[in-house]
Copies of this chain bind each other. A is one copy, B any other.
């Protein structure tokens, strides 16, 4: 793209080697990637299928700690996109990765990058189809676009929940927030195994692709929990044009998160508002609740009923006393948070 490119990219060693040795092996089995030697990738839909598209851009120092490991960063970059696909009822298929590298990466850093992507591909069943590798004078910046498949007409939207629908979460909530707090502040409350579990949930969140099918079969609305359960629930209510309530005590916590809560290392509010969960928040018509729970369980997951949708506009999180919990910040809302608020 012009001489600006030429001049600046000349300082950027080894792009050939990066594509051939780091990325091409990750695309070796991808139908339509052509070994990353063509100018574009080919995606072949099956008859009766639609394609769900999602994209996230992440920047060093903004979306992850500056000293984060390369493998964790790329793992998470793919995970957050897979999380969106799954919550929409789509089976993850391929992804494109664009990466702006700050300076000249060394071999160990690139190997960690490749290894993190390979682990994520294995966990999520989503393979590299293409991308772009450029240089930046600024911080490392990654953009992942992921494509998933679903049968025509079965996408699960953020809107669509009705009053009376049961509200579910999959997995356990707050592990990522607890992991981040442990990384920042340290603590000897937990043993090394439990500590590693929680920090691992922050570093390498685990969306569950097997949940896509139960969601599209049963959910009236769903979204992934990325910015905190309380805030994301408010968004789902608003998009669906109704209200709802969640009982805070019924929200499933992992045993290590429970231990930190009981030791008062972290508050319930922090667990429900911290974000980085990448589990699914779903509204399910009440008569379908049992089938949904069974289908999720059959897919190796866990769906817990935590509340229900209601008339009105209020999205409430109720504490043990049945009163709305007072939250200083219900979760970061990219669409509504006012920095002055």
Chain A residues engaging chain B, CB cutoff 8 angstroms: 1-6, 8-13, 15-16, 19, 34, 37-45, 47, 49-59, 61-65, 76, 80, 84-85, 87-88, 90, 96, 98-100, 102, 129-139, 141, 143, 145, 147, 152, 155, 157-159, 176-177, 180, 202, 223-224, 226, 239, 274-276, 329, 332, 334-337, 339
Contact = CB atoms under 8 A, between A and B. Distances in A.
Contacts of A15: 334-335, 337
Contact of A51 (B9, B51, B239): B51
Contact of A3 (B58, B180, B335): B180
A138 B140 CA distance: 9
Q: Shortest 5 CB-CB distances between A and B: which pairs?
A: A138-B138, A143-B143, A57-B98, A40-B54, A43-B51
Given A130-B54, A131-B55, A40 B10 contact: no
Given A59-B100, A139-B137, A339 B1 contact: no
Given A41-B52, A136-B138, 15 more contacts: A1-B58, A2-B275, A4-B63, A12-B339, A15-B334, A40-B85, A42-B50, A43-B53, A45-B49, A55-B143, A59-B100, A62-B136, A96-B145, A136-B139, A138-B139
A3 to B, nearest CB: 6
A18 to B, nearest CB: 10
Contacts of A39: 54, 84, 87-88, 158, 223-224
A44 B147 CA distance: 12
Contacts of A63: 1-2, 4-5, 134
B4 A53 contact: no
Contacts of A84: 39-40
A267 to B, nearest CB: 14
Contacts of A44: 50-51, 152
A131 B334 CA distance: 13
A332 B15 CA distance: 12
17 contacts: A4-B61, A4-B65, A11-B339, A15-B334, A34-B157, A39-B84, A40-B84, A42-B50, A42-B52, A53-B145, A55-B96, A55-B131, A56-B98, A57-B100, A62-B134, A96-B145, A141-B141
A189 B282 CA distance: 66
A1 B50 CA distance: 28
> Which of A40, A64, A329: most chain B CB closer than 10 A?
A40
A162 B128 CA distance: 29
A129 B59 contact: no
